[in-house]
A = this chain, B = another copy of it.
């Protein structure tokens, strides 16, 4: 493995670490608090244990769906539940292709075997799916459907894009990832920029992880609350407290922030202030 490949892998791991260490991030596990069954150690362990899958991706060989499955398998060894499934959906193609352009190229080459592997990875997690999806991860018939329709992994993401902002990144050219990276660079180096970027993304679009758990109304409320924090009408600590109390965790925005950190660091942004 060349030095460049190691750099790409380590940048992805640092992105995962920096996201969870940044605080306060309203509603999510951060340096200031855990959830009862998922602690900061679970996220940090996952960042460490993802290395072999990220190295596989950095080699730019192998199948993206299979590599996502390996990442989930290797990081599911702890009892903290799914920590980085959404992040892997973004990071694996980004590491595979090195940057957004490379990722967009790589995902067009996925096949139905990638889609099948991805669904197997999905089944290892406890991530929610919207009711009534005809490609339900819990239905054994889904894998047959995928093969019959000859859907590749990009088709699957297209299928999921309406209800899942992480899948949407695959079909919209990683636009929120790009926006997050640009924000980080505008805001300058350091931890405060990570928190500000998180809040800005949160104020930009309703988090689909919140929608699946609490409905669109709550997700839109959270968006507006993040806007209030950005505009100084409310403290971030106050919003954090409310989110934790109500079980509102913007998990998909966190996944996109990880991808944004990965891209920004590749373009010279530094986490050290």
Which residue numbers of A lie inside 8 Å of B, CB to CB? 6, 10, 13-14, 17-18, 21, 31, 39-41, 44-45, 47-49, 51-52, 78-80, 191, 271-272
Smallest CB separation, A22 vs chain B (Å): 9
B17 and A44 contacting across the interface, CB-CB below 8 Å = yes
Which B residue's beta carbon lies closest to that of A45? B14
Which B residue's beta carbon lies closest to that of A20? B44
B41 and A191 contacting across the interface, CB-CB below 8 Å = yes
Provided the pairs A21-B41, A31-B40, A40-B31 are in contact, do residues A79 and B272 lie with their beta carbons within 8 angstroms?
yes
* Residues of chain B lying within 8 A (CB to CB) of residue A6: 52
Given contact pairs A13-B48, A44-B44, a sample of 12 additional A-B residue pairs in the complex whose CB atoms are under 8 Å apart: A10-B48, A10-B49, A10-B51, A14-B45, A17-B41, A31-B31, A41-B191, A41-B271, A41-B272, A51-B51, A78-B272, A79-B272
Which B residue's beta carbon lies closest to that of A13? B48
Smallest CB separation, A200 vs chain B (Å): 21
Bound: A272/B45 CA distance, A: 11
- Can you list 5 contacts pairing A with B, beta carbon distance less than 8 Å? A13-B48, A21-B41, A39-B191, A47-B48, A48-B48
Which B residue's beta carbon lies closest to that of A11? B48
B21 and A40 contacting across the interface, CB-CB below 8 Å = yes
Bound: A243/B271 CA distance, A: 27
B45 and A17 contacting across the interface, CB-CB below 8 Å = yes
Which B residue's beta carbon lies closest to that of A78? B272
Smallest CB separation, A258 vs chain B (Å): 14
Bound: A169/B31 CA distance, A: 32
Bound: A31/B80 CA distance, A: 18
* Residues of chain B lying within 8 A (CB to CB) of residue A272: 41, 78-80
Smallest CB separation, A20 vs chain B (Å): 9
Bound: A10/B75 CA distance, A: 12
Bound: A267/B17 CA distance, A: 27
* Residues of chain B lying within 8 A (CB to CB) of residue A40: 21, 31
Most buried by B among A31, A39, A51, A191: A31
Bound: A79/B270 CA distance, A: 11
Which B residue's beta carbon lies closest to that of A272? B79
Bound: A271/B40 CA distance, A: 12
Bound: A80/B31 CA distance, A: 18
Which B residue's beta carbon lies closest to that of A6? B52
Which B residue's beta carbon lies closest to that of A22? B41
Provided the pairs A31-B31, A31-B40, A40-B21 are in contact, do residues A48 and B78 lie with their beta carbons within 8 angstroms?
no
* Residues of chain B lying within 8 A (CB to CB) of residue A49: 10
Bound: A154/B53 CA distance, A: 37
